[in-house]
Chains A and B, each alone.
Chain A
């Protein structure tokens, strides 16, 4: 299991567009990927649940990645949060 924290850098926070990209990205891996904000954790397969976390710009979240391809999933997630997200 890999756990990593990120600060949200997109201006509007985790709004519909980046959240959609994130769900699509998570589907490419067999590992179970969850996102945690405060004491709430949701699986990354549900756009509804991610939006309900209402993650705003500047807030921090933790990503929990667990499964056979967790290392490559973690790399992809890392690129998403440190680079892709800034442009969405």
Chain B
């Protein structure tokens, strides 16, 4: 059986099947004022009891609710208390002579239908939440206030249900559950959200077949692929037990560090950011506890198309990412084409040495009109969050000044057009050409930050084409020459009081983490998946030790001795 995997992990256990019956109307027509008053009172009491139960759960210390769960409970409180729902229910009792039960069922059905007809997946998924609220008040309307005890389970229970509602999460003790599968639901349904927040493997939207599962059936579910196995054979069990063990190991590391801040043992806070190519990558960033974006490559928007994107299209593309970053910083790099990246509609002449040729900021400064478009789009997107702008391939101070002059021109044009933008946007450069690294003290005066791009810095410093397999062994970020350049950039940043980050491969290499910390680097940007590993290294070290490692390494003569020493001392 296959559904949608919404929370990764493998769960192996016994099924606990929850079947719910739909609420039924009684069709009674109220006959007197007394009956109307009694039904009104019944509704009011039910609301109070439903609220009291949630308050009790919220205030219970032994449940150890996480922020997501508290948030869900607060939403429940507001919905149960909702004046619009109350007004609609009371109107049905008072003017249509419905019982509280029938009024509540009718009002709930109306709201559910409204949400089900919405065009937005998230909003459609809310229809289940309103059904749940309705059922919850109904329970009290018909039971006069007794409360449910939280059901508890045997260890390794897998819950099988038509859907898992906020009420279920309140009345089921999920701490003993190893996973669950639901018949209905979607990626944004309550069940999916709660599974992710609890780190429980879960599969939703399994279809009707799911309800053929019986109590105590042996179940394996894969929360990534969405497969659910019922009473599987020996081979499947063995395969998934092994998968489960390795997943758990990796997941343990993630979970252990996920909610911890990236602070060294002696209290230095380190920023761990992610490199992204579009807004779609942001989910991964937050899943891995990234605190923003250190490098937003903009090339993706320019590739696989026939013409240059206009200002509006660029603006939407950047804005989407900035909004997805939810207030966390986003550093946008202006276009870095040329070298190995070409655009079909932009005729770049063939060159003998493309990496030393017409690329990145060199193209931008040469094609001012195109550059201006991109800068205006970034400035406008910056109004939606915390955005910095970064120029790639800077080799001298004039390029920075020229780029900044065009940036000022872009601002003036936006002001003239009356368009909103961030006038105080921070400006930085990629330090990836040796001359920039060596003259970091000069360049620091012109910018707000440096971001060290180790891939190009390494290839230019060592004169090694990183695409050429024959000389691959020479491409080595631990070459003392490269390390000295990196050290200088970090040091000059500190002396000139500007911010230094690193966004190249080296930032995600755990062999380099302590050395870089020792050099004074406090911001690492990498692919999101690498963040937990690097965070783990940071949490388990202290700056004093990192400084010692750096001092030792900077005295060494060769890459071989440096890597051997780092392997021994840091891994």
- A residues at B contact (CB < 8 Å): 7, 9-13, 15-17, 19-21, 23-24, 43, 45-49, 51-52, 54, 56-58, 83, 86-88
B165 vs chain A, min Cβ distance (A): 13
B126 CB–A CB distance under 8 Å: yes
Chain A residues near B126 (CB, 8 Å)?
A: 16, 51
A48 touching B327, Cβ below 8 Å: no
B326 touching A48, Cβ below 8 Å: no
Which of B79, B120, B130 is A56 in contact with, Cβ under 8 Å?
B120
A11 touching B74, Cβ below 8 Å: no
A48 touching B74, Cβ below 8 Å: no
Q: How many A-B residue pairs have CB under 8 A?
A: 67
**Contacts A47-B79, A51-B126, A54-B123 known; A20 to B327 CB distance under 8 Å?**
no
B319 touching A48, Cβ below 8 Å: no
**Contacts A11-B326, A23-B78 known; A46 to B84 CB distance under 8 Å?**
yes
Q: Can you list 23 A-B contacts with CB-CB less than 8 angstroms, sorted by A residue number?
A: A9-B327, A9-B385, A11-B324, A13-B120, A15-B122, A16-B126, A19-B75, A20-B74, A21-B74, A43-B83, A45-B83, A46-B84, A47-B75, A47-B78, A47-B82, A48-B79, A48-B82, A48-B84, A52-B114, A52-B115, A54-B123, A87-B326, A88-B326
* Contact indicator per residue, chain B 325-342, by CB within 8 Å of chain A (1) or not (0): 111000000000000000
Give Cα distance in the complex from A55 to B83, angstroms: 20
Give Cα distance in the complex from A11 to B74, angstroms: 21
B162 CB–A CB distance under 8 Å: no
* Number of B residues, CB within 8 Å of A: 28
Which of B74, B129, B319, B326 is A10 in contact with, Cβ under 8 Å?
B326
B129 touching A16, Cβ below 8 Å: yes
B319 touching A86, Cβ below 8 Å: no
Give Cα distance in the complex from A87 to B276, angstroms: 19
Chain B residues near A9 (CB, 8 Å)?
A: 323, 327, 384-385
- B residues at A contact (CB < 8 Å): 71, 74-75, 78-79, 82-85, 111, 114-115, 118, 120, 122-123, 126, 129-130, 282, 319, 323-327, 384-385
Which of B84, B118, B327, B385 is A49 in contact with, Cβ under 8 Å?
B84
A57 vs chain B, min Cβ distance (A): 5
Give Cα distance in the complex from A10 to B319, angstroms: 12
Chain A residues near B130 (CB, 8 Å)?
A: 48
Which of B75, B83, B111, B324 is A16 in contact with, Cβ under 8 Å?
B75
B84 vs chain A, min Cβ distance (A): 4
Give Cα distance in the complex from A60 to B205, angstroms: 34
B326 touching A54, Cβ below 8 Å: no
Chain A residues near B385 (CB, 8 Å)?
A: 9, 86
Name the CB-closest residue of B to A47: B78
Name the CB-closest residue of B to A11: B324
Supplied contacts A16-B75, A16-B129, 11 more A-B pairs, CB within 8 Å: A9-B327, A10-B326, A12-B122, A17-B75, A45-B83, A47-B75, A48-B82, A48-B84, A54-B118, A83-B327, A88-B326
Q: Sorted from nearest, which 6 A-B pairs have the closest CB atoms?
A: A86-B327, A46-B84, A47-B78, A20-B75, A11-B324, A48-B82
**Contacts A24-B74, A51-B123 known; A46 to B323 CB distance under 8 Å?**
no
A86 touching B326, Cβ below 8 Å: yes
Chain A residues near B79 (CB, 8 Å)?
A: 47-48
Name the CB-closest residue of A to B123: A54
Name the CB-closest residue of B to A7: B384
Give Cα distance in the complex from A87 to B323, angstroms: 10
Give Cα distance in the complex from A51 to B82, angstroms: 12
Chain A residues near B71 (CB, 8 Å)?
A: 17, 20
Chain A residues near B82 (CB, 8 Å)?
A: 46-48
Chain B residues near A12 (CB, 8 Å)?
A: 122
Most buried by B among A12, A16, A52: A16
Give Cα distance in the complex from A44 to B36, angstroms: 29
